[in-house]
Structure 1
């Protein structure tokens, strides 16, 4: 899409007199575009420049959410002009995702510093909180090994800056997800190597799946503002993502239900294992540096 310009008649930087065709000053190189406009126009231009915030964006979003694998398929066959480029889409969605994650209701501080607050609660509230902690402990035991659990327990007894800890974890997670995305593409490359497809095609698939996951998780984060106890909703996020990924693999790789399932299961397990190791490592490093 061609950029809509509000052109000067004279360059404000060097005074060169523009001709109608000049998008940049031939003398100093400054862009011939007036930015002295209301903020609304600047926001619209930013979205237009980064995402082509028009029918192209909405069509991309529609296919991403409701047509698993279609964007990847169209990219692979060369039909790309009508859709937001995958990397640009990922950058925009991930920025919004981690912003929402940063401002979402924080339960970490309650978990790490709830001992002093227990004394201020009445007996019924203490009993309810104790039951909730019991449930959390059972879930944590399934997801964390003994050493990590001991580290967290140690942190509870110390003056941990929970705000700093949260910020570090979110920052590190954004970096980890960026690294894990090409890993997922490489796993697909290995399991579908007989199809002799380039790695880039698998990487595009990975980008689109991660974008879908981020959007789904953003919906969950939005619901947390209204439904603080939304653990059941949280469990739907990986479940829906798994179904979406399976259907997308069927569309992109053109194999049967069974063939796709036999690849989907090991790819998913390997990726989840790598993801778990990365996130647990993030917790450890963030705790040690807080």
Structure 2
């Protein structure tokens, strides 16, 4: 869809005299399009651009979802005008992902059995606090659930001590453990910070994965940008897959979709690698093992780093 431009005769930025065919200034690059118009014209342009985006998005998603790797291949050979650019597609899908995640993430209600908390003790039941010996009589009757909660908190307290000991009792370790304790005590705030930092982490992970592909397929002589486009499309598909899994989990909470998601991810990766890199069935299967292992290791490191940054920023 061609854009209906209101052209200048002279560039307002550098003074270059335009020819009729100039949509951009050949001298400074500024778009030859007058935006000083009534609001109704801007609204009309917005819907024009939105509809144009919509016609591309459906063609792009069809290839991305049903033809693994073909969208990347088309981009790499220059067939780009009919599809949404990879980075713009990723941003759009990731925004939908975090929006759905925010809508479906619920903070659990505070445990009613916790009545008091300070730096040294946590009173769970009347007369019972962390470190107090629990009589056998408490283990019977209606107090069973409360005692389980007490045991869980006592275990958490031991875990915090073990975490602090892993830092050698340093001042930084004590401060980190204190922040970590505060971080996990506020589930809603922790989720929001993790969501924000995870979005940034994914931006870093994509070029990392592209570098992994660049090193693994270095003998093919591919440009790094080609691997980067593959990585962007792959992570875009993963975002869409997780969005679907989150929505299905809301509809069917009793069904565990974890294994299914992992299998679909691996199958999609296999098909996309074979489509883009044109390796044989056996070579592609063999390549899945080292690529997946290094990727999962990198993902784990990035997630731990994201958690640590989230705790330190809390």
Q: Distance in 2 between matches of 1:73 and 1:63?
A: 11
Number of residue pairs matched?
Answer: 252
- Please give the secondary structure, in 2, of the residue aligned with 1:110: coil
Which residue of structure 2 aligns with residue 67 of structure 1?
A: 67
1:241 aligns with 2:270: no
Q: Distance in 1 between matches of 2:144 and 2:268?
A: 40
The answer to which structure, 1 or 2, has the higher relative contact order (CA under 8 A, 6+ apart) is: 1
CA contact (8 A) 1:35 1:42 kept: no
Could you tell me which runs of 5 or more consecutive residues in structure 2 were left unpaired when the two chains were aligned. Answer: 7-20, 25-32, 116-123, 126-140, 157-161, 167-175
Q: Which moved more, 1:58-67 or 1:261-270?
A: 261-270
Call closer, same or farther: CA 1:201–1:218 in 2, change over 3 Å: same
1:234 deviation in Å? Answer: 3.2
String of CA shifts for 1:83-128, please: whole Å, max 9, x gaps: 111111111111111121222233xx439x54747989x969949x
Could you tell me which runs of 5 or more consecutive residues in structure 1 were left unpaired when the two chains were aligned. Answer: 8-20, 138-145
Q: TM-score, normalised by structure 1?
A: 0.71
1:184 aligns with 2:213: no
Larger Rg: 2
- Please give the secondary structure, in 1, of the residue aligned with 2:78: coil
String of CA shifts for 1:168-196, please: whole Å, max 9, x gaps: 10000000001100111111110100000
CA contact (8 A) 2:209 2:295 kept: yes
String of CA shifts for 1:146-165, please: whole Å, max 9, x gaps: 749x9899956888332221
- Please give the secondary structure, in 2, of the residue aligned with 1:248: helix
1:53 aligns with 2:54: yes
Q: Distance in 2 between matches of 1:43 and 1:124?
A: 62
CA contact (8 A) 1:220 1:233 kept: yes
Which residue of structure 1 aligns with residue 190 of structure 2?
A: 165
CA contact (8 A) 2:60 2:83 kept: yes
Q: Distance in 2 between matches of 1:42 and 1:126?
A: 61
Which residue of structure 2 aligns with residue 143 of structure 1?
A: none
